[in-house]
Amino acid sequence: MLQVALAQDFGGFSLDIAFEAPAGVTALFGASGAGKTTVVNAVAGLTRPDRGRVISEGTVLLDTEARIFTPPNRRRIGYVFQEARLFPHLDVRANLLFGARYAPRGATGPEFARVVEMLGIGPLLARRPASLSGGEKARVAIGRALLSKPRFLLMDEPLAALDAPRRAEILPFLERLRDTGLPVLHISHSVAEVARLADTIICLEAGRLRAAGPAATILADPGLADLFGAAEAGAVIGARIVGAEEDGLIRAETAAGPLWLTEAPNTPGTAVRLRVHASDVILSRARPAGLSALNILSGTVERIEEDAQGRAWVRLGLGQGEALLARITRRSVAALGLAPGVACHAVLKSVALAREDLGPGR
């Protein structure tokens, strides 16, 4: 658990924010310039805020009131920077081992061989950073931070500088990071990345906290759709793989009934996270028939928020705390008579697998 409260005035821009990052992956989400990097720099101890408090696993690292400031080298907070920041005069092996000698005796964390294997950087060990690709640099930077055995890991958009294929190459490694049990604060302005990785989402807007909570709740919040953008907004729902059917479609069971997926692991029992864009959801009061769309879930309208562009964002509860977010027009809200408590069917034009290996029981 990481508890953060920070206030800093930069003249034109001021930051004033307080949040908690529980175990698991916490995404710090916000547009460029929202103050995300300022927050993690203060958490890492690279900058001193005007006022603030940072507590990591019960240890006070910063408390301006009590005049406590732990320097960055004694915070044991790993930091993966946006630009890798590998040491150019050291080979990959020496880069990876740079922080290992400073880890206290008894500090827990994955060992060298495990990190090298997990990140697939074995063939790079004797190389110099200058000869590495962007994706390779990012992986070495992650390994280097892990091997200093931090109690918390900060990641400042390690994927932002990479093109889409490189990003796709790294994401699985970030997912494997979850297995190490290390709490992570992951900065991102990519909704897809957040939907895929985060357990908890903290939304930052112009230096202030906009919202914070479990990923499923935040992503399905109709009032936050403007923050994520009309094209990207959409909920994530949990499902469990049942298995492939004769025609190749894979059946998955959700809180509100079955879904059929075209691309999913065919491993019965696997818990998966599905992402449904709000613009891919059609709402219907009557159970629709004669549609090409296969996936129809029924639920209850829980909340409706209208925005300035005449759109309405609807949170449709599916039971067991799961929910979908639908983007429709205000006219449709009136025509269908939608209001909180009204039962409704959701036709899903497309369902994407956001994440596998959620582990059982999630």
Question: Number of C-alpha atoms within 13 angstroms, CB side, residue 42?
Answer: 27
Q: Does 248 interact with another protein (rule: CB under 8 A)?
A: no
- Comparison of 148 and 254: residue with beta carbon closer to another protein: 148
CB of 120 to another protein, least distance (A): 20
Strand arrangement of the beta sheet that strand 200-205 belongs to? 68-69, 59-63, 51-56, 2-9, 14-21, 208-214, 200-205, 25-29, 184-188, 152-156, 77-80
Q: Which one of 37, 148, 188, 200 is in contact with another protein (CB under 8 A)?
A: 148
Q: Which one of 36, 76, 210, 277 is in contact with another protein (CB under 8 A)?
A: 76
* x/- map, 7-46, another protein, by CB under 8 A: -------------------------------------xxx
Choose the stretch contacting another protein; rule: CB under 8 A; options: 123-131, 180-188, 206-214, 241-249: 123-131
Q: Does 131 interact with another protein (rule: CB under 8 A)?
A: yes
Neighbours of 120 (CB within 10 A): 14
- Comparison of 137 and 210: residue with beta carbon closer to another protein: 137
- Comparison of 79 and 228: residue with beta carbon closer to another protein: 79
CB-based contact 88:128 (threshold 8 Å): yes
Q: Does 134 interact with another protein (rule: CB under 8 A)?
A: no
Choose the stretch contacting another protein; rule: CB under 8 A; options: 6-14, 126-134, 181-189, 216-224: 126-134
Q: Does 128 interact with another protein (rule: CB under 8 A)?
A: yes
- Comparison of 80 and 198: residue with beta carbon closer to another protein: 80
Strand arrangement of the beta sheet that strand 295-306 belongs to? 281-284, 343-348, 295-306, 311-319, 322-329
CB of 102 to another protein, least distance (A): 3
- Comparison of 161 and 230: residue with beta carbon closer to another protein: 161
Q: Which one of 15, 17, 34, 77 is in contact with another protein (CB under 8 A)?
A: 77
Q: Which one of 137, 144, 273, 311 is in contact with another protein (CB under 8 A)?
A: 144
Choose the stretch contacting another protein; rule: CB under 8 A; options: 55-63, 96-104, 210-218, 262-270: 96-104
For strand 14-21 and strand 2-9, is the pairing parallel, antiparallel, or unpaired?
Answer: antiparallel
Interaction residues for another protein, span 271-290 (CB under 8 A): none
Reading the block at residue 151, the tokens are 């109690």
CB of 105 to another protein, least distance (A): 13
Rg (CA), the chain: 22
CB of 67 to another protein, least distance (A): 20
Q: Which one of 11, 71, 106, 248 is in contact with another protein (CB under 8 A)?
A: 71
Under the rule (CB under 8 A), what is the footprint of another protein? 44-46, 71-79, 81, 83, 85, 87-89, 91, 98-99, 101-103, 127-131, 144-145, 148
